[in-house]
Amino acid sequence: MKRILITILVLAGFGGAIAYILSKNKKENQAKVDVVNASGGAVPVKVANAEVKPIDLDFVANGNFVPNQDLEFMSEVSGRITSLRVKEGDRVGKGQILATVEDKYLALDLQNAKEQYQKLLTDKNRLESALKTGGVTQAQVDEINLAVKNAQNGIDQIQKRIGDVQIKAPISGIINKKYIELGSYASPGTKLFDLVDVSSLKLNVNVNEKQVVQLKKGDKVDIKIPVFPDKTFSGYVSFISVKADNSLNFPIEIKLNPTGASEVKSGMYASANFNFAKTAPILTVPRTAFVGSVRNGQVYVVNGNKVTLTRVTPGSIFGDNVEILSGLSEGQTVVISGQINLQDGVAIEIQK
How confident is the model over 291-350, as pLDDT tens digits?
988 989 999 999 999 999 999 999 888 878 899 999 999 999 999 999 998 999 999 999
- pLDDT at residue 160, rounded to an integer: 74
Give CATH 2.40.30.170 domain extents, the chain: 59-68+196-274
- pLDDT at residue 205, rounded to an integer: 96
Do 143 and 119 touch, CB atoms closer than 8 A?
A: no
Is pLDDT at 143 greater than 80 in this prediction?
yes
Do 333 and 47 touch, CB atoms closer than 8 A?
A: yes
Confidence of residue 125 (pLDDT cuts 50, 70, 90): confident
Paired residues of 310 in beta bridges? 299
**Alpha carbon distance 245, 215 (integer Å):** 17
Q: How far is CA 111 from CA 79, 107, 193, 246, 280, in A?
A: 18, 6, 32, 57, 79
Sign, CA torsion 55/61/65/71: negative
Q: Is the pTM above the cut of 0.85?
A: no
Q: Which CATH number fits domain 73-191: 2.40.50.100, 3.40.50.720, 2.60.40.10, 3.40.50.1000?
A: 2.40.50.100
- pLDDT at residue 298, rounded to an integer: 95
Confidence of residue 4 (pLDDT cuts 50, 70, 90): very low
Is pLDDT at 211 greater than 70 in this prediction?
yes
- pLDDT at residue 301, rounded to an integer: 96
Give the CATH fold of the 43-55+280-350 domain: 2.40.420
Residue range 59-68+196-274, CATH number? 2.40.30.170
Confidence of residue 16 (pLDDT cuts 50, 70, 90): low
Give CATH 2.40.420.20 domain extents, the chain: 43-55+280-350
> CA dihedral in degrees (327, 331, 336, 338; nearest 10)?
-90
The b-or-e profile of 125-152 (16+ CB within 10 A means b, else e) is: eebeeeeeeeebeeeeeeebeebbeebe
Mean pLDDT within 26-37: 50
Confidence of residue 7 (pLDDT cuts 50, 70, 90): very low
